[in-house]
Amino acid sequence: MDKDVVQFRFLSDNERYADLINGIVFEGRQVVRGEDLTEMDPQTGFWKTVGGRRKRRADKKYRDLLRRVALGVNFTVIGVENQERVNYLMPLRAMLYDAASYEKQASDIRRSVKADTDATEEEFLSGFKKSNRLYPCITLVLFYGREWDGSQDLHGILDFTDIPPELKGLVNNYPMHLVEIRKLRDTGIFTTDIKQVFDFIRMSEDKKGLRKLVEEDAAFQNMDESAYDMAMAYTDARELISVKKYHRKDGKVDMCKALTEMLQDEREEGREEGREEGISGLIQDNLDQGKSREEILEKLCRYYGMSRDKAENYIENYHI
């Protein structure tokens, strides 16, 4: 399962993207609609000098997801980055992503200003009119791992050893907007199947709680396939990927039945493992007590209901 493809397919849906914004930014208030979102090119270019020469090239980087969001007569740009593991440079990455979005806007304005014969000399040289404005940009970092132990702002990755406080106070900080999915306390802030996906990820290590969750939320019985895949991508429930085909119909998956089947298989495997351990233990204990081959065979047949041929197959490994 390609996680990049899965998360893109799931979150690129504008209704879900709007739900994510409403939940995380507006604490569940329905401020943004799917129709308010416009997809943007996720490619950004950071210019850098190559080999010490004056020539420069764009070092292309790609954001996971990026949307322009209409808010009244204005817009804002909201990006989403998905992280399964801690990236200790993420505050810097988030800052660069936002800076690139501002630079892209400024570049578009610059072209129009250069062609404007009414621009003042200062505006022409700046490539930006006094009245021009850039749209605000933010980046939401969705973390699906267990514990984020890195910094959540730029200052946290800077070395201020022996730096005078007067100078430190002039160093601009840049906070990172981190969302730890497994620590979300209230998923009721979401109205789409983002709620079910995040709930499944949060509860994935508590099988009893997970089963209770899936059984009590009817939405799990008719999950969109992309939501099912998203939940699987960021948990260790690989067995649910293999049984999906048995519970899929018309692009929907019954998570409740799939989970029940997975847990049943695990119980059967556990019983079988326990049986194997019991048989091995019986054989070894009787060997330690000096029991004969015939006595061990009789016990295997009596205690485990085996045929004599099957019992003999078990003790062959012990070279009795």
Condensed to tens digits (0 to 9), the pLDDT of residues 235-253 reads 876 667 767 777 778 888 8
* pLDDT for the residue 258: 75
The DSSP result for the chain, as a single string, is --HHHHHHHHHTSHHHHHHHHHHHTTTT-----GGGEEE---EEEEEEESTTSS-EEEEEEE-SEEEEEEETTEEEEEEEEEESS--TTHHHHHHHHHHHHHHHHHHHHHHHHHT-TT--HHHHHHTS-TT--PPPEEEEEEE-SS---S-SBGGGGS--TT--HHHHTTS---B-EEEEGGG-S-GGG--STHHHHHHHHHHTT-HHHHHHHHHH-GGGGGEEHHHHHHHHHTSS-HHHHHHGGGSEETTEE-HHHHHHHHHHHHHHHHHHHHHHHHHHHHHHHHHHTT--HHHHHHHHHHHH---HHHHHHHHHTTT-
pLDDT at residue 106 tops 70: yes
* pLDDT for the residue 209: 86
* pLDDT for the residue 136: 96
* pLDDT for the residue 134: 95
d(CA 37, CA 301): 70
Window from 40-44, 149-153, 180-184, 269-273 with minimum mean pLDDT: 269-273
pLDDT at residue 159 tops 50: yes
pLDDT at residue 56 tops 50: no
Condensed to tens digits (0 to 9), the pLDDT of residues 224-237 reads 999 989 988 888 76
Q: How confident is the model at residue 59 (pLDDT cuts 50, 70, 90)?
A: low
Window from 85-94, 166-175, 255-264 with minimum mean pLDDT: 255-264
